[in-house]
Chain A
Amino acid sequence: MAMECRDIKIKELLPEHAAGKLRGDALDRVERHLGSCADCRGEMDLLRMLAAEPVPEPGPAFWEGFPGKVYREVQKEKAVGKRRWYPFRLLDIVVFPGWAPVAALLSVVTIAAVLAWYGSRHFGETPRTETLSQNEYLFEEPEAPLHEYLSGLDEDGLREVDSWSERELVAVAGEIEDAGLNGSRGDYSGEISRMNEEELRRFSSMLEAWEKEVSNET
């Protein structure tokens, strides 16, 4: 067998040469190269055989009727598509049917993950019991930093925090009153629930600082 030729540029022109489409400089270059390269001559023989391989075609009747056949099938598909449930039509917009089972699986996994997250947030808390005394905590000590914990609470949760802080930090509330920050002791749950994350973070830092101060004094 001839030594393998490394002239990629010539090799890439060979299919056009086999099809008789090369002209001008490109044609001259390829013809000159073929004169001295047995490997490329062998490749030309191969490509000519490939290009010359006849493909039997159906007769004129097939071609004349084909566009009409396609048109009728397309109209049928469109009519079926209109009757389908809309979410499945959305899947049909993606041309390749292989997408449909993958999309369905991803949807199921996503919905399951969202439900699991929602369940852990709203059903994993310690339930209220009437046996807890007035001064006992109604919720578990949060494991996350306090400002993160507070920013994740809903209005009921914030109301509980407020009640707790009112009961447990009586001294702190008193100091707030003395300092004139609030006119009178009241229900802070509304204010707390309207706080954004930055305000909640500052509020939790204040509570932590006051708690330290109170525990130091006692």
Chain B
Amino acid sequence: MDPMDEDRGLIERCGAGEREAFDELVRKHQRPLYRMLRRMVGNHEDAADLLQGAFVKAFTGLGGFRGMCSFRTWLYRIALNLVKNHYRDRAREATVELDELIAGENPGTLAALIKKQQRLMLGRGLQELPEKQRLTLVLRAQEGHAFAEIAEILKCSPGAARANYHHAVEKLKRLMGSCEAPGEMRPSAEEGA
């Protein structure tokens, strides 16, 4: 069954008051949405709050869902608007927890140390990107969404989604490229990088 049709069936059953359908719809989308929110805000507490907020808004506003896009797209759109409000309401501390996690690792080899540095740079580079480019890159490269769906979530054209993605990738490549000092070792295949 087409995932969209499956969701529509569950939504109809939710509307009829079926608790089972409600739980199934939440379980289906909770983990992927949590992962995206966690990447965006960087800590569990905020990601969990935003996750709950997105689902509550989606289910209380189910009357306004006209089925023009998939339920997943609609849910992600709600979640990203909550993320924007979250950024507006507080200072951006998005990479604090992830940075600390990476910094806390104890690399045993030089290769692992270099990789750790690269990951730190990558995390910071992501935060430096303009919001729409970062969102597009996360949704495409980390969450595996197609450009058409990204365009629906971010309410832009597929062409704009592609352009945002390519600009984001080029910026990160330049950043990662500028981090490599001459003579700096890159992890080789033998070292299991």
Contacts and interface: CB of A to CB of B under 8 A. Distances in A.
Interface stretch (A49-57, A111-119, A121-129, A199-207): A49-57
Given A51-B142, A53-B142, A93 B64 contact: yes
Given A43-B169, A66-B26, A95 B78 contact: yes
Which of B137, B141, B147, B173 has the largest count of A CB atoms less than 10 A from its CB?
Answer: B141
Overall SS of chain B's interface: helix
A58 B49 CA distance: 13
B57 interface: yes
A47 B60 contact: no
Interface string A83-98: 0000000001111100
Given A46-B172, A57-B35, A71 B60 contact: no
A92 B56 CA distance: 13
Given A4-B170, A81-B60, A71 B122 contact: no
A164 to B, nearest CB: 56
A95 B64 contact: yes
Given A67-B23, A70-B26, A96 B81 contact: yes
Contact of A67 (B27, B31, B118, B141): B27
B119 interface: yes
Given A47-B141, A49-B122, A69 B60 contact: no
Given A50-B122, A95-B61, 9 more contacts: A1-B177, A55-B39, A58-B34, A63-B30, A67-B23, A67-B27, A67-B30, A92-B61, A95-B57
Interface of B: 19, 22-23, 26-27, 30-31, 34-35, 38-39, 44, 48, 51-52, 55-57, 59-61, 63-64, 78, 81, 101, 118-119, 122-123, 137, 140-142, 144, 147, 162, 166, 169-170, 172-174, 176-177
